[in-house]
Amino acid sequence: MRPLSILFFLPLLFCCDNNSEQYTSVVKPGAQVLIEIHLSELEGRKVGLVMNPTARIQNTHVLDTLLALEVNITALFAPEHGFRGDYADGEVIEGGIDQASGLPVFSLYGSNKKPTWEMLEDIDVLLFDMQDVGVRFYTYNSTMKNIIEAAAAFDKEVWILDRPNPAGGEYVSGWVLEDEYKSFVGSYPIPVAHGLTLGELALMAIGEGWLDTEHEPRVKIIEMEGWQRNMQWPETGLNWTPPSPNLPTFENAYVYLGTCFFEGVNISEGRGTDSPFLTIGYPELELELDEIRRMETEFGVEIDTTSFVPKTIPGKAYNPKFEGEKINGISIYITPGFNDPVTFGLELVKLFRSTMLEQDKEFAHRRHLLLLSGNDEILNWEEDYDWESEVEDFRLQRKKYLLYD
């Protein structure tokens, strides 16, 4: 490893992107802080990387940066969607060799979701760097939990290179997960939208005893610089790299906090189209215009009627709902006043449900819907949702783990 080379490498890495535009981000992600301040601490150590394509400083992947600086990378670990992000939702990840670097890749989204001793024996420290979207059922936070637990079992360190919560650190909404609905899409007793960074969530999981460990985890958070809790993604100045194939823009990711509930019902959530989670529908859909206008007014969105035909898109969507069928649906456009995606998504599910029942169509995939919501109150379709007291309790509980103002 060549620490002195940082002085020459940094201007090329951080000042310009591939189009030679000035780097204007107001936020330094944890990965950048690692390179600038903590790199010497990795000298002489064997390093494993738990990353995906979002592990970037501008347009340079952290793996490439660390290799250029001669950090001793010994293995790569692939979460859902793969280390290089070329696997579709739910697709089993295969281990093997990373063709670009020649390094071994261990799958964390296949028969093993938690690293084994054989995966970790040639590693001293794991660097975890993945962009989260701020919702409980996004699987990267479960992968983080498994990484910390395995590292604790085998006396390895974990460094979490922190990144922004795209929805902001103040937005908290939805039910707190009940124990009976714990799964890989629900690992912690937190609300649907939690308002934490992954670094903060790791501290909270350790502090609140949510991890299955016999030994104290050795976890270090490499904090961001410049991020504030009231910042949503566009205010960070950072480039958006899709954290998963079906979240191509911040807008898709933001509305996903609520429209992901369509995964649990017999309605297309837009997989197999160019704009998943902003495109919703099913064959023979008939929505009342006044109901659409009510949703627009209440939530600060624009909704247009549309039609689309879902299709398989390799690496993005395999066998999407209603593949090859013409679907009547809606396109959602977020406006500056949109600030409650969880409630919006649930109200939209209710609206579609009432229409489907009128047409005598099968509606819910009950188990998956419950795993996403984490609470069976989602099935009380005729009642208003009430999670305010749970959210307030959680805000108080999380307060001592917050790293950013």
pLDDT in tens, 266-323: 999 999 999 999 999 999 898 888 999 999 999 999 999 999 999 999 989 999 999 9
What structural domains does the chain harbor? Answer: 3-243+397-401 (3.40.50.12170), 250-374 (3.90.1150.140)
Distance CA 88, CA 50 (A): 18
- The helix (H) or strand (E) run that includes residue 398 is helix 388-398
- H helix intervals, 15-165: 30-33, 62-68, 117-120, 140-153
More confident residue, 366 or 149: 149
Would you state the pLDDT for residue 70? Answer: 97
Higher pLDDT, 81 or 258: 258
Instruction: Write the single-letter amino acid at 54.
Output: T
Q: How confident is the model at residue 24 (pLDDT cuts 50, 70, 90)?
A: low
Q: What is the pLDDT of residue 8?
A: 30
This prediction has a pTM of 0.92
Structure tokens at 221: 């958070």
If you average pLDDT over residues 387-394, what whole number do you get? Answer: 98
Burial pattern 238-255, b for ≥16 Cβ within 10 A else e, equals bebbbbbbbbbebbbbbb
Sequence-ordered list of residues with C-beta below 8 angstroms from that of 99, at least 6 positions apart, any chain: none
Q: Please state the three-class secondary structure of 4-59 as a single string.
A: HHHHHHHHHHHCECCCCCECCCCCECHHHHHHHHHHHHHCCCCEEEEECCCCEECC
Is the model more confident about 82 or about 130? 130
Q: In terms of Cα–Cα distance, which of 290, 246, 250 is closest to 268?
A: 246
The CB density around residue 283, as the number of other CB atoms within 10 Å, is: 14
Q: Which residues of 69-89 are buried (b: 16+ CB within 10 A; e: fewer)?
A: bebebbbbbbbbbbbbbebbb
93 or 256, higher pLDDT: 256
pLDDT at 219 over 70: yes
Instruction: Select from 129, 148, 141 the least CA-distant residue to 188.
Output: 141
- Contact present, 172 and 391 (Cβ < 8 Å): yes
What type of residue is 73? Answer: I
Tally Cβ neighbours within 10 Å of residue 187.
22
Nearest one of 249, 239, 47, 247 to 157, comparing CA atoms: 47
Both tokens of 260, joined, read: 């992901």
Distance between CA 320 and CA 309 in Å, rounded? 10
Do residues 175 and 373 lie in contact, with contact meaning Cβ atoms separated by under 8 Å?
yes
3-state helix, strand, coil in the chain (%, to 5): 35, 20, 50
For residues 50-60, average pLDDT: 93
